[in-house]
Structure 1
């Protein structure tokens, strides 16, 4: 009973989100003090190991972006009732997941792509059985286009968004054409800028990177693999709970959850097949995993669910200690 009360207090308590924010700040500061220069395979947007001001800009920009994404995770749940209640547990999970990996405390292109993906999901979900979905799909695919500019390999997941739109009963010839125009819009702006400045390589670069698929190799950094496996554990358990108890959700909510399961499953597949992109894909995974695990922890019950909740918290703590030790 005390174990059950603990899970209930944490997932529905008013102090859960402030506590998660405070823990995140402490993790961010501790990581910055113990290992100011993080070495990764991927290149951050601004980070330079020889310039302390750029490193600080990287960390501050990343933290602010995560904070904005965390806020909109609350808004997207309140708007579309993914967890069937006004809850902030998904944002608390998101902050904690982002904080336990010092390697993710720098600002990467994948972080910007994840913010664009969240906005795209908002408009895509809003198109559900809408009488005039063309505008919603246009805005959704504009941000999907922005996400593909920062992470060009993301373009291969875009067709599955049309599958999602079809399941939401919002895909029609007119809305399909609107989505095509929306996706092309960021590239038109990029083409105009590249032509105006005489730097056409800027325009060709994301197009060439879309085809940059390397031979699958298990070349993860230790902290990347640990984080990926932890997220996969949350995803698998959340997916099992979602599919087993889907009858208790509204049809609309089930459609949203199944789409999140599809997108995250594809992102996991891409991360395992293209290990060199893992650091860029992890921020994208955090969004879906946070919503799905928030749905799991807020709505599940029973002894097994309570034990898994406590174990997942302990594993999260061990993951943070392991990541700090790796970078020391």
Structure 2
């Protein structure tokens, strides 16, 4: 009976990821041809200074969707490697990557290139090293590399620095935070800024060095959710429902996982809650935070769908697929 359910056929199928990749690629190409105006959407005023410079001088408008597609593909690959290395879903599953591709595809506005795409990739690599530090007696090196990528990403998207607070708390919960590893984390975060300071000082352009800190301390109107577009509200509501269901499952069925795996899942739950709160407080950064929110959500939801086999979970899986299709149709309709 288990194998006859659609949920288990999809999650255990070896052709699921190739099929999803093909479907997403076709949808991506189709939307780019049907809605060429997406490539001409003006840059938002709240985009970080360094990111605006990269977009203006290095990337022509037509290349943004291609680069964005490649970045999402790299993120999908790292999601598979993350699960293979740490066994979050207790098997060599690729469901989390398929889910991530679907999330991104149903939002044509996310096919453009944002600073948050780079920040999400840097954060995912940072999470890998943070997980490696779990209960390590000599974790300074792992935390150094973890915070190095946080620092690199924060130059492009300064608000990423805020996540270092969560990283420190989680390192403490992973029993890898000592005075030495804390100093290693601090040095890792500072290293990109040392290079930035050297460049700014040498060329007498110290404003370049101050710019990320100024942008980090600049806050928009809090809880001003009216600024969110309809497609952003729709995908946030969809992700919130899936997150609640998957998080409840992780907590309720946590005894089935190893202690290490439960710690990883709890980190992903904390990260997702943190992201939802940050989007609610500063909705003007929604576009940049959505890629990272989809990363944490895709792992949790993949964990839920792969490891459940009840009738209710199968019904929820079907409802989720139908809702995702309707969400894609709604987003297409808003572009007409």
The TM-score with structure 1 as length reference comes to 0.95
Per the alignment, residue 73 of structure 2 pairs with 67
Structure-to-structure mapping, 1:284-303, within 5 angstroms: 284-303=292-311
1:101 to 98, 107, 110: 107
The worse-fitting range, judged by mean Cα deviation, of 252-261 and 316-325 is: 316-325
Q: Write the distance in 2 (CA, Å) between the matches of 1:222 and 1:4.
A: 37
Per the alignment, residue 321 of structure 1 pairs with 329
Per the alignment, residue 167 of structure 2 pairs with 161
Do residues 307 (structure 1) and 315 (structure 2) align? yes
Is the contact between residue 144 and residue 158 of structure 1 (CA under 8 Å) also seen in structure 2? yes
1:95-118 CA distances to partner (integer Å, 9 max, x unpaired)?
111111111001110000000000
Is the contact between residue 4 and residue 302 of structure 1 (CA under 8 Å) also seen in structure 2? no
Q: Write the distance in 1 (CA, Å) between the matches of 2:4 and 2:43.
A: 42
**What secondary structure is seen at the aligned counterpart in 2 of 1:37?**
helix
Q: Write the distance in 1 (CA, Å) between the matches of 2:2 and 2:304.
A: 19
Alpha-carbon offset, residue 41 of structure 1: 6.8
Do residues 233 (structure 1) and 241 (structure 2) align? yes
The worse-fitting range, judged by mean Cα deviation, of 79-88 and 36-45 is: 36-45
Per the alignment, residue 210 of structure 2 pairs with 204
Per the alignment, residue 13 of structure 1 pairs with 13
Alpha-carbon offset, residue 40 of structure 1: 6.8
**What secondary structure is seen at the aligned counterpart in 1 of 2:37?**
coil
Alpha-carbon offset, residue 273 of structure 1: 1.3
**What secondary structure is seen at the aligned counterpart in 1 of 2:36?**
coil
Per the alignment, residue 242 of structure 1 pairs with 250
Do residues 178 (structure 1) and 197 (structure 2) align? no
Per the alignment, residue 22 of structure 1 pairs with 22
Alpha-carbon offset, residue 154 of structure 1: 2.3
Q: Write the distance in 1 (CA, Å) between the matches of 2:55 and 2:145.
A: 31
Do residues 213 (structure 1) and 252 (structure 2) align? no
Per the alignment, residue 91 of structure 1 pairs with 97
Gaps of 5+ in 1: none
Gaps of 5+ in 2: none
Change (3 A) 1:174 1:33: same
Do residues 79 (structure 1) and 77 (structure 2) align? no
Q: Which runs of 4+ in 1 moved over 4 A?
A: 1-4, 43-48
The TM-score with structure 2 as length reference comes to 0.92
Alpha-carbon offset, residue 240 of structure 1: 0.7
Alpha-carbon offset, residue 159 of structure 1: 1.1
Change (3 A) 1:57 1:238: same
Per the alignment, residue 278 of structure 2 pairs with 270
Per the alignment, residue 260 of structure 1 pairs with 268
Alpha-carbon offset, residue 301 of structure 1: 2.1
Per the alignment, residue 137 of structure 1 pairs with 143
Q: Write the distance in 2 (CA, Å) between the matches of 1:2 and 1:133.
A: 42
Alpha-carbon offset, residue 56 of structure 1: 2.2
1:73-96 CA distances to partner (integer Å, 9 max, x unpaired)?
000000000001110000000111
Q: Write the distance in 1 (CA, Å) between the matches of 2:78 and 2:249.
A: 24
Is the contact between residue 47 and residue 106 of structure 1 (CA under 8 Å) also seen in structure 2? no
Q: Write the distance in 2 (CA, Å) between the matches of 1:56 and 1:75.
A: 30
